[in-house]
Amino acid sequence: MKISVLTILLLVFFLQKVESQLPPSSFGFIDRSDVYARLHSGGDHFNDHNGNPFFETPKGSGHHTISFFGLWVGGLDVNEQLAIGAQIWAQGTDFYTGPLTNDGLGLCDEETSSVWDRVNELSRAEIIDHLGSYLLPGYEPIDAIADWPAHGDPDKNQDWIIAPFKDVDNDLSYIPENGDYPLIRGDKCYFYVINDNANIHTLTNGSEVGVEVRCIVYYFECPEDSAFQHSIFFNYKIMNRIEGRNLHDAYISFYADFSIGDVADDYVGCDTTLNAVFGYNALPNDSEYGEHPPAQGICFLDHAPNRVMYFNKNGEIALTDPEVAPEFYNYMRNVWRDNTLLVVGGNGHYSQGGTDPAHFVFPGDLHQADEWSEVSAGNNAGDRQIIASFGPVNMEYGDEREFNFCLTYARDYEGDHIGSVDLLKERMERIRYFYDNDSTPCTTSWTNINTRSKTDDRLRLYPNPAERFITMTTDMNFIEAKFKIFDYYGKAVASGTVTQENKQRISIDYLENGLYLMVIQYKDISICRKFVKQGS
């Protein structure tokens, strides 16, 4: 038997992939007033990888609303062969850490995967502190800022700029000592990069799609607004990196295993007016949450899903977890494991009498008996999983697609399990309003840090040099802003609060002669000015 050189090369390449990258292993934690949740560097979130959920809400309660969240991408190549990468609560890995090369090969070696096997975590407050301190002598940025993954490795044909940052001097290099800083979203932000071509797909056993995904998870500290305070936000940028790997009938899908306390008594649904999917308790009382069980959902903020499908952990085989690549692809297209279409009515399977194909599962109002929902159908409760899909689309080399969405939680303590869904939808509607109007009810913006560089002229100090008093003036209303004065060695020697609208006189008579730094911090704005104390 003759074996071609190409066959040998392909075999060597396959074996190298098998023996190279290990599955992602690093974690980050969302730890806020109402949620304690685990993020995984591989993008498969909200579980402990030992079969247990890890999206605890309220924090400290021991109760969870999500068991798993992940990304699915799949489509057909020019030879009608399926390429697919997915994430589900099962043994196997399709997505690995790190960026792919930008040379059309879309490669990621073991060293790259290892370096990028991390969840980068940073807060807005830490950035503001950095901006108020980087001019001080001897200043060293904290690790989260110093190690921000702004750059790839050009020697490995990776993009130079990966994690977003403010390049204050426009030199295309991230140098925090010069005042550069990460551009994050919200008050707390997590950044990581995944791909599906660093190793073989051991979950779906499908061919690699060749996507790199840059992911941002963030939240706002907004206790005065229940919608934002009970939401976690996501930004995914999905890039096709393999030249010639052009897919048609492709779908990008987001999968969630909602587990409202007791995992076995849940329902799911969707709301096409809100571009949302959600999970809720089938009964007014949950064995873990008790009365008034909550609802948990995902609201897509800039794209409307074209398909919404569900399946079960247990029960009729045709309606349970996918096991091979074609079954994953089926669910992305609203097709059951037995290759029959989702239909309107009952549990969505034709065996219950439905005949009309459905693009959206259980989209009906839960209060309306004549609209299709799990409530009106009287379905048996179960361990539900849901998937929202965008497509079919063509995915070609060089394409980029961006998705913004939020995970939102609601619990109606004055109502029942249906009331929690109503409250959830109210919160999603509020979030959509602010997102569509590029604003928030919080003190922070959707994106970036609204800071000013050292050349900002909105804050002026005079006289400079000064003897006994220095006056600061501004064209903005900085009442209640905080100011600090640092000496040459970085020691804070004075602090206070701005009490006048556009001008304030500050005594510096007690300061020794020398160079000082004045820092004004107001909400998410930080401005620095140097001045010299002399005489007297």
Which pLDDT score, from 0 to 100, does residue 321 have? 97
Residue 468 DSSP one-character state: S
Tokens describing residue 236 = 């995914």
* Percent of the chain scoring above 70 in pLDDT: 91
Q: Look at 22 and 274; give whichever has higher pLDDT.
A: 274
Q: Look at 531 and 305; give whichever has higher pLDDT.
A: 305
Measured CA to CA, the distance from residue 201 to residue 44 in angstroms comes to: 15
Average pLDDT on 346-360 reads 96
Tokens describing residue 199 = 């190793």
Q: What is the DSSP string of 119-155?
A: -EEEEHHHHHHHHTTTTSTT----HHHHT---B--GG
Question: What is the CATH topology of the domain spanning 459-533?
Answer: Immunoglobulin-like (2.60.40)
Which pLDDT score, from 0 to 100, does residue 8 have? 46
Task: Pinpoint the residues of the chain covered by CATH 2.60.40.3580.
Answer: 459-533
When pLDDT is cut at 50, 70 and 90, the band that residue 501 belongs to is: low
| Least-confidence region, from 137-141, 251-255, 312-316 | 137-141
* φ and ψ at residue 434, rounded to 5 degrees: -70, -40
Cα 30 to chain centroid, rounded: 11
pTM for the predicted model, two decimal places: 0.85
When pLDDT is cut at 50, 70 and 90, the band that residue 493 belongs to is: confident
- Per-residue pLDDT for 32 more than 60? yes
Could you give the 3-state DSSP secondary structure of residue 48? Answer: coil
| 461-485: pLDDT as tens digits | 889 889 999 998 876 677 778 888 8
- Per-residue pLDDT for 14 more than 50? no
* Percent of the chain scoring above 90 in pLDDT: 73
Q: Which residues contact 390 (CB under 8 A, 6 or more apart)?
A: 251, 252, 253, 303, 305, 306, 403
| 246-256: pLDDT as tens digits | 999 999 999 99
